Amino acid sequence: MHGPRRAIIVLSRRGLIVCGSPKVRITLLSLALLVSMVPSSRADTIYQMNAQGRQVVVQSGAIVVSEDSSFLVYKHFEQKDRRVEIVRLNKGSLPYSVETAKPDARRQIVEVWKRFGFKATVTDLAGKATLVFDAYLDFYPPGGRGSLLESVPPTTSFTVLLDNGSADDVDISKIDRVQIQGDRLKLNLRDGQIEEGKFLMPTTQPVEVRFLGITDQYNPASRQVFDFSLPIAKIKEISFD
């Protein structure tokens, strides 16, 4: 039995060398590129004084959206989830400090985020097409009444109850196009396969599935991690780049 494939990173005179499977190399090199781009864009950097009295970096390439005596709230691009996320830090006994960037630097870091998330063209029922970056799905009470269902996490996959009775959780990275007709989905996958069925809800509560992300008009100072939000029931087609 073979163990899990690992990646080895070697720093040589020729530069950074990443060894391992192609998928692992691509993931690590993409992350390295993101990290290398952040310092040039600066954005906000969050520090914390550790127990030894040393200042350590908690997060760089972030945008702080609020701060009070108890909490520090910021947003950043989470590579693992491939979307922009909100983080709430409890200040506790070890203090945090923030090096705040200028507005231009914040705009630059948003442009970096847009390069690494899922990009889609969303066509609504009226035929209007919108280009959306850092796209994901989230779940709200029906009709947009109330806030999002915090017990149900956002996702970057479509979970479908297929016509044959089985279920499949399909990551956006595998999807070329989603066609929506009422409560039915038709997923055109990048490998040429087609899957059809209904969206499988993650909860028994009444829920509305929305497709969210940021557009070219996104305000870096926004407290939200999106400026585009549309129920999938009002979408005709989603085409992924």
Q: What is the CATH number of the domain that holds 81?
A: 2.30.30
Pairing of strands 71-78, 157-162: unpaired
pLDDT for position 14: 40
Lowest mean pLDDT among 78-82, 92-96, 198-202: 92-96
Nearest to 135 by CA among 122, 153, 123, 119: 119
User: What is residue 3's predicted lDDT score, i.e. its pLDDT?
Assistant: 43
Number of domains in the chain: 2
> Per the domain annotation, does 28 fall within a domain?
yes
Tell me: do 193 and 205 sit in the same domain.
Answer: yes
pLDDT beyond 50 at 56: yes
Domain boundary among 115, 140, 161: 115
Distance CA 227, CA 236 (A): 19
More confident residue, 11 or 112: 112
51, 108: one domain: yes
Strand 175-181 and strand 235-240: the pairing is antiparallel
Same domain, yes or no: 234 and 212: yes
Q: Is 26 helix (H, G, I), strand (E, B) or coil?
A: helix
- With a cut of 80, say whether residue 194 has pLDDT above it: yes
Residue 152 has pLDDT above 90, yes or no: no
175 and 231: one domain? yes
Whole-number pLDDT of residue 33: 53
Q: Same structural domain for residues 84 and 154? A: no
Q: Which domain holds residue 192?
A: 118-240
Region 52-59 average pLDDT: 91
> Does some domain include residue 99?
yes
Are 145 and 208 within one domain?
yes
Lowest mean pLDDT among 48-62, 110-124, 165-179, 211-225: 48-62
The answer to whether residues 164 and 104 belong to one domain is: no
Supply the pLDDT for residue 22: 54
71 neighbors 78 (Cβ within 8 angstroms): no
pLDDT at 27: 47
| Mean pLDDT (whole number) for 118-128 | 98
Please tell me whether residues 194 and 109 are part of one structural domain.
no
Mean pLDDT, residues 167-193: 96
* Strand ranges inside the chain, DSSP E: 8-12, 15-19, 44-49, 55-67, 71-78, 83-90, 96-99, 120-124, 129-140, 157-162, 167-171, 175-181, 184-189, 194-199, 208-214, 228-231, 235-240
Average pLDDT over residues 11-39: 47
φ/ψ bin of 182: left (φ > 0), alpha (ψ from -120 to 50), beta (otherwise): left
pLDDT at 48 over 60: yes
Quick check: is 174 in a domain? Answer: yes
Kind and range of the H or E element at 203?
A: none
Q: Evaluate whether residue 127 is within a structural domain.
A: yes
Instruction: Confirm whether 3 is domain-assigned.
Output: no
- The pLDDT score that the predictor gives to residue 91 is 86
Are 109 and 124 members of one domain?
no
Confidence band (pLDDT; 50, 70, 90) for 160? very high
Domain end, chosen from 56, 85, 115, is at 115
Co-location of 53 and 157 in the same domain:
no
Using pLDDT thresholds of 50, 70 and 90, give the confidence band for residue 20: low
What is the pLDDT, as a whole number, of residue 10? 42
Whole-number Å distance between alpha carbons of 229 and 136? 10
- One domain, residues 189 and 102: no
Q: What is the pLDDT of residue 51?
A: 83
Band of the pLDDT at 53, cuts 50, 70, 90?
confident
Q: Are residues 131 and 236 in the same domain?
A: yes
Higher pLDDT, 38 or 178: 178
Examine the fold and report which residue of 115, 135, 168 is the final residue of a domain before the chain moves on. 115
